[in-house]
Amino acid sequence: MKLDAHQHLWRYAQREYGWIGEHESALKRDFLPADLAVELERAGFDGCVAVQARQSLAETEWLLELADGYSFIRGVVGWLDLCSPELPAQLERFAPHPKLCGVRHVVQDEPDDRFMLREDFLRGIAQLKQWDLAYDILIFPRHLRVTRELVGRFPEQRFILDHMAKPPIRQAALEPWASDLRALAALPNVACKVSGLVTEADWRHWKPSDLWPYVDTALEAFGAERAMIGSDWPVCTLAASYGDAMGAMVARLGDLSAREQALVLGGSAESWYGIRP
């Protein structure tokens, strides 16, 4: 099964999606399963993992309802309030759903760069393992060292790094991102999404080879067993079509064995998220 491990769905309302800026007006419309189904089929993917785009229990509920209605949505990474004393009740409500496979918080927008080491957040992370839920890590490169400390504190918890921590592709810089990524990858309980790269490049003038040093670094650091491809659709459409964004990354997998390619293109996402056939 070929899986797009990272994409989003929404009914657009300005008050709900304030993170979409004026220069991103192409995203200010609805993006729904029928739109995504066309892109998946055209690119030869069998399914996807839908990831939260706003920090709302209502959105988590909506995504799970969509997953019930569309079989190609194989998993949902929702939002639960990890810092709340109400988290146990939220887990009781949502975690039994067979397609809830993970939880995410938009850490990159938190003003405190050490947010992930707050006691209330740590208490929330500690509750995920009993429900067999992964935690998606959405950060910038400056957060990688704190992320390593977080991941190291919970050796039995599955973590998945989104978008390779958004490397500085536009600046054509590898360090210190690459060294910090390798240090994180040394911990065996974290995987990495090869995703979201075209929007870290020059939106108008990027070319596939701009992405490849970063893809190569991530694949070398994590290996195929801990790497998974994702489109970050529809955000990727700010810089490329779905097909071009995914094609640029798929093209770099050619040197991998058939088994390794199958892992990056779906097998790793199935394993790390516990997606059922």
| pLDDT at position 18 | 81
| pLDDT at position 15 | 81
Is the domain spanning 3-273 CATH 3.20.20.140? The answer is yes
Would you list the domain boundaries of the chain? 3-273
**Range list of H helices, 200-267:** 208-222, 242-250, 258-262
User: CA angle, corner 228, sides to 215 and 171, nearest 5?
Assistant: 30
| pLDDT at position 96 | 97
| pLDDT at position 25 | 87
| pLDDT at position 269 | 98
Q: What is the DSSP track for 52-67? A: -SSS-HHHHHHHHHHH
pTM given for the model: 0.96
Low-confidence ranges of the chain (pLDDT < 50): none
- Identify the three-state secondary structure at position 91: helix
CB 16 within 8 A of CB 57: no
Which class for 206: exposed (0-12), middle (13-18), buried (19 or more C-beta within 10 A)?
buried
Query: How does pLDDT run across 151-183, given as a tens digit for each residue?
Result: 999 999 999 999 999 999 999 999 999 999 999
